[in-house]
Amino acid sequence: MNKKQKKVLTRIIIASVLMIILVLLPLEDYPLVRFILFMVPYFTVGYDILLKAFKGIKNKQVFDENFLMAIATVGAIALGEYTEGVAVMLFYQIGELFQSYAVGKSRRNISQLMDIRPDFANVMVDGVLEQVDPDDVEIGSEIVVQPGEKIPIDGVVIDGNATLDTAALTGESVPRTAKIGDEVISGCINMSGVLTIRTTKEFGESTVSKILDLVENASSKKSKPENFISKFARIYTPVVCYSALALAVIPPVVRLIMGIDPLWTQWVYRALTFLVISCPCALVISIPLTFFAGIGGASRAGVLVKGSNYLDALSRSKIVVMDKTGTLTKGVFEVTKVQAVDISEEELLEMTAMAEAFSNHPISRSLKEAYGKPIDTSLVSDVEEISGHGVKANVSGKVVQVGNEKLMNSIGVQVEDIVEPGTVIHVAIDGKYHGYILISDMLKEHSKEAIIGLKRAGISKTVMLTGDSKKVADLVAADLGLDEVCAELLPGDKVSKVEELLATKTDKEQLIFVGDGINDAPVLSRADIGVAMGALGSDAAIEAADVVLMDDDPSSIVKAIGISKKCMRIVYENIYFAIGIKVACLILGAVGIANMWIAIFADVGVMVLAVLNAIRALSVKKYK
């Protein structure tokens, strides 16, 4: 509780004690003394509300909750209802204090969850470590990160190895290792070992700065419910003020015309009760707080949402379109099968790796890694790379040809059509076929689980887009259980396909595109919601996407949708609950059934319950 909140709490306690004492004292026979004494707790607890109401009238911003409370309480006191007048102001302040504390607690929770801003960077100066402001560190500088410290700026490890805690960024509790040559990002905590890092970005362009900026600015993009509540409050407050005025004047005038006792006091009291009930605090406070808490809770789970409008859109998603490489697969080629003919598998791998010894192609690298032994390049000569076919080389006096089916056909070697999920590398030695090696882009561990989770979450269609061959794409899609697959696509073709899918849905349904965030910027921008997957440190992802998933797990898509649906459920619960109670109590107040005490519940009680419900959005469970 901050200093301001403690001061308000002190005023509330003093006013409460004074009011209880005054209620117990026999002051009915001393009306002037009673009035003066009751003004002490009234002004003690309510002077700031009266001041705000006066300033609002002075600045021509009349219709707000301060004005409603001032009119209602002053009116009640004018009618001689001193206890109720003080009680309304007292309970209103209690509600405001509770709301202030709840918002502060939410902000502190989010601040702790996103406490990734580094305070300093260690720079070596004349052999001595000096702590400097991260903003002052230039690109290419060498910084030292000791155990327990945050990595202040993105860079590459040039010395040391350590274990890094990435929980604040990804929501994952499992630490990752960092060694020489690895790229590391700001915001991670060094758990062990000393790292020397050469910076690759300025602090303002580093991952931690971009994430903090994204979360801080998320509130600027409002959802439809938030915009509705803002417009509703601007129209609603004047309407209820004029309605209360009509309630105070019209019935007594009609009774007077009819020759009946007008009962002015009774109808004015009803009008004042009507004003207290009508205060829209519960809606105005709880709806933005729900979205704020939802965005904060998502941030803790490694899901960065750029605005509450995207939380709203995520909850209404029905079509999920995904890139294959880097999203559903690891994006790293690995040897998954070796099929040797007339020689051993080890010999086949050795001859293939030696033929590919001088190539830096990703497929060549994966073949050399699968062999796993040093290659004596002196045994390799006459290397010839044949574009679009493969490679030919002389290995220890033997002609080794490694490549695709076209290469085999060109030398008169017939091969069977092999239908397996991956790239088939055929091998011929001295013109004779000796087998093939299958290289696959492996599926991520949770890809299949993610597709099942999406269907449980209400997604009606899952689509995969890829530039790979149709044969490979169909096998991957069948393995994952996808509804539709489009293969052999160029980046421009992906945009066209997304536009086709957009044309098939209704206006209320939303289409999500999930990509690795590096080469999918056009499609991320074109979809209703662009989601960048595994985008730690990717500038393109953070700029182009509406939602950034900070880990590399496809099941985070399910998590993002689950968080959005929970948040929107709480939003609508608060809207229906607050409006429903208000309408019921307004009717009861207008007909004289509800008194000031019921009015206090309708205002403060509903607000407290709505705020308590709103902060549930901070809690994020695992969505599978």
323 counts as catalytic: yes
CA of 310: how far to CAs of 327, 415, 424, 546, 568, in Å?
21, 51, 42, 7, 11
3-state secondary structure 542-562: HHHCCEEECCCCCCHHHHHHH
Cα–chain center distance at 186: 19
Pick the catalytic residue: 154, 165, 312, 323? Answer: 323
The closest of 148, 145, 150 to 115, measured between CA atoms, is: 150
- Spatial distance between the Cα atoms of 508 and 526, rounded to a whole number of angstroms: 17
CA of 592: how far to CAs of 71, 588, 589, 599, in Å?
19, 6, 5, 12
The closest of 426, 472, 225, 210 to 325, measured between CA atoms, is: 472
CA of 469: how far to CAs of 136, 329, 441, 482, 503, in Å?
49, 15, 13, 17, 26
DSSP string for 56-116: HHHTT---SHHHHHHHHHHHHHHTT-HHHHHHHHHHHHHHHHHHHHHHHHHHHHHHHHT--
Beta strands in 226-379 (DSSP E): 303-305, 317-323, 329-340
3-state secondary structure 60-72: CCCCCHHHHHHHH
Active site positions, annotated: 323
